[in-house]
Structure 1
Amino acid sequence: MQKRKLGKSNLEVSAIGLGCMGMSFSYGPPKDKKEMTDLLHTAVDRGITFFDTAEVYGPFLNEELLGEALTPYRGKVAIATKFGFDLSGNDNRPGAAGLNSRPEHIKQAVEGSLKRLKVDAIDLLYQHRVDPNVPIEDVAGTVKELIQAGKVKHFGLSEAGVKTIRRAHAVQPLTALQSEYSLWWRKPEQEVIPTLEELGIGFVPYSPLGKGFLTGKIDENAKFDSSDFRSTLPRFTPEALKANQALIKLLG
């Protein structure tokens, strides 16, 4: 497995990472814990050293899964997790209460993630989504404090625009920017990727296989149950799936 250093940082990870959300969240019901543990172990055996999770996945279940499964590989793998959703309130749907990147919430989220992941420091901490109610400078400043305290090693953003990237980077240098990027979503090429190259920030694409569509295993007759978030996405309506089969044929 090839390795990459994210941007100008010293964080070296496998060129291919494993996004773990679907093991516990969003792609149907949570999967069997033993099967997912075996999958994670197999990934490490095959050279994967970069794993992605978030407190909202479950919520909390995905971090707990990784914390247990990857304990034997401490020091050999890097785990990225995320904060930024309000997980309080009576609505059990993860993130239903909206965004929350207030400094006190970030610190609380980090303490929870450290316990669930069973680590002393988070390798890479992303803001999951930009919170319009909290200046990004306050977010970056809070993460900077957590880095100085030894609880976080690297800072990243997810789905942030170039102005936000620049403002955050000026307070606490960013190691990585995460964004959806694939053959059917190439918008980051317009402004985001050039900005990252300029500033020396790593780029971590998610859904490189188009949430499964680009595998060619999803046709126009595919049905998604209510526990699968693709059931709510315009790109996964029968009409869109039918129209986009042309892309699959081109790739084939």
Structure 2
Amino acid sequence: MTNLPVHSLGVTGPAVSVLGLGCMGMSALYGPADRDESIATIHAALDAGVTLLDTGDFYGMGHNELLIRDALAQREGSREQAVISVKFGALRSPDGPFLGYDGRPAAVKNFAAYSLQRLGTDHIDVYRIARLDPDVPIEETVGAIQELVDAGWVRHIGLSEVGADTVRRAAATAPIADLQIEYSLISRGIEDEILPACRELGIGITAYGVLSRGLISGHMTRESVRGLAPGDFRGMSPRFADGNIDTNLALVDALRKIAEAKGATVAQIAIAWVLSRGADIVPLIGARRRDRLTESLGALDVQLDAADLAAIEAAVPAGAAAGERYAPEQMAMLDSEKRAAGE
């Protein structure tokens, strides 16, 4: 096993690899995935020294947790190596649509019971509600997770997609390890209020969407966007829509020139940029295949100096992306966006 650099996930959180593996795409939302290749990718990540595995109990309605369980069961010592981060709370119907979120204390414990069983483990390393339940104070949800911590079922408490005010209220209730939130070259909303609040409180950031669902990976073309598989939620994402995709791919082309000058890929530059934002930010790589994992890990070899960062900023300035990061009905569920808008 390779030893990647390790960071503490916030002041109170666990030690994790400098990059984490986001496992969602192996089960849901990006079209069909190959089970054997997904498991091989998890194994390759562990072999490379990646310790943080991120999932959600609603990814494939439990499929993703079962996949991780099977991957870890095949390798002796893997559970001890892995730091498993689980999101909960999303309600779904059998045919897939999201029905809202449930952060009631009894629901929190119920969700955890099922996750522990599916994962085949006696504890979850970091546990977080995927979105704030607008009908339940964050203090009650976090308090329920703290009871799970006290009982030994959970090791650390996380947050997901909440604004600075909610972060402060949660941190006043119990120790918070990290906030999981979208952060990339074209999704920089956390820089104004949320990131400063987390740093003030000693809360780490796990950044998802660092390649903006493949949009700024360098592998997307207008043709590949048109050919997205049925069920791939990017087909309903504003940034991939006609009228926006050309603007966004033009940003990628500008980034590609910088990448070529550095002898790197576009994806590696995009990941390296997130890594450059601070040691308290751990990017999640959403690789579903070993080749994509290998490419992403190569970002650790990319050193960005002040001139590089200035060139990247000029090529992809904050706010340059066309379209919101989610469709309107999903944006309405984001406490992080409401706070950023001053609501």
**TM-score grouping bracket, smaller chain normalisation:** over 0.9
Preserved contact between residue 12 and residue 175 of structure 2 (Cα < 8 Å): no
CA distance in 1, matches of 2:56, 2:212: 20
Cα 1:220/1:33, change in 2 over 3 Å: closer
CA distance in 2, matches of 1:210, 1:96: 21
Equivalent position of 1:80 in the other structure: 85
Equivalent position of 2:246 in the other structure: 242
Equivalent position of 1:17 in the other structure: 20
Aligned-residue offset at 1:93: 3.7
CA distance in 2, matches of 1:34, 1:242: 35
Cα 1:94/1:155, change in 2 over 3 Å: farther
CA distance in 2, matches of 1:131, 1:82: 13
CA distance in 2, matches of 1:15, 1:114: 25
Residues matched between the structures, number: 248
Preserved contact between residue 56 and residue 95 of structure 1 (Cα < 8 Å): no
Greater relative CO, 1 or 2 (CA 8 Å, sep 6+): 2
Equivalent position of 1:7 in the other structure: 10
Preserved contact between residue 6 and residue 16 of structure 2 (Cα < 8 Å): yes
Equivalent position of 1:37 in the other structure: 39
The amino acid that maps onto 2:248 is N
Q: Is 2:120 the counterpart of 1:118?
A: yes
CA distance in 1, matches of 2:80, 2:123: 11
CA distance in 1, matches of 2:214, 2:90: 25
1:124-148 Cα distance to aligned partner (Å, 9 max, x none): 0011000000111100110111100
Preserved contact between residue 220 and residue 239 of structure 1 (Cα < 8 Å): no
Ranges in structure 2 where 5+ consecutive residues have no aligned partner: 257-343
Equivalent position of 2:234 in the other structure: 230
The amino acid that maps onto 2:39 is T
The amino acid that maps onto 2:11 is K
1:50-82 Cα distance to aligned partner (Å, 9 max, x none): 100001000100000001111330211101011
CA distance in 2, matches of 1:137, 1:95: 28
Equivalent position of 2:144 in the other structure: 142
1:166-195 Cα distance to aligned partner (Å, 9 max, x none): 111111111000100000000011111100
CA distance in 1, matches of 2:238, 2:34: 29
Moved over 4 A (4+): none
CA distance in 1, matches of 2:38, 2:213: 19
Structure-to-structure mapping, 1:140-179, within 5 angstroms: 140-179=142-181
Preserved contact between residue 124 and residue 153 of structure 1 (Cα < 8 Å): yes
TM score, norm. by length of structure 2: 0.70
Preserved contact between residue 85 and residue 95 of structure 1 (Cα < 8 Å): no
Aligned-residue offset at 1:96: 2.3
1:201-229 Cα distance to aligned partner (Å, 9 max, x none): 01000010111011111122322233101
SS of equivalent residue, structure 1 residue 51? strand
Coordinate RMSD, CA, aligned: 1.2
Equivalent position of 2:110 in the other structure: 108
SS of equivalent residue, structure 1 residue 125? strand
CA distance in 2, matches of 1:178, 1:14: 15
Aligned-residue offset at 1:247: 1.0
Preserved contact between residue 220 and residue 238 of structure 1 (Cα < 8 Å): no
Aligned-residue offset at 1:105: 0.9
Equivalent position of 1:53 in the other structure: 55
CA distance in 2, matches of 1:9, 1:169: 11
Equivalent position of 2:313 in the other structure: none
CA distance in 2, matches of 1:10, 1:177: 11
SS of equivalent residue, structure 1 residue 70? helix
TM score, norm. by length of structure 1: 0.95
1:11-33 Cα distance to aligned partner (Å, 9 max, x none): 0011110000000000012x222
Aligned-residue offset at 1:97: 2.2
SS of equivalent residue, structure 1 residue 163? helix
Q: Structure 1 stretch 189-198 or stretch 96-105: which is displaced more?
A: 96-105
Which of residues 97, 100, 114 is equivalent to 2:99? 97
CA distance in 1, matches of 2:68, 2:99: 25
CA distance in 1, matches of 2:179, 2:96: 23
CA distance in 2, matches of 1:234, 1:185: 13
Equivalent position of 1:210 in the other structure: 212
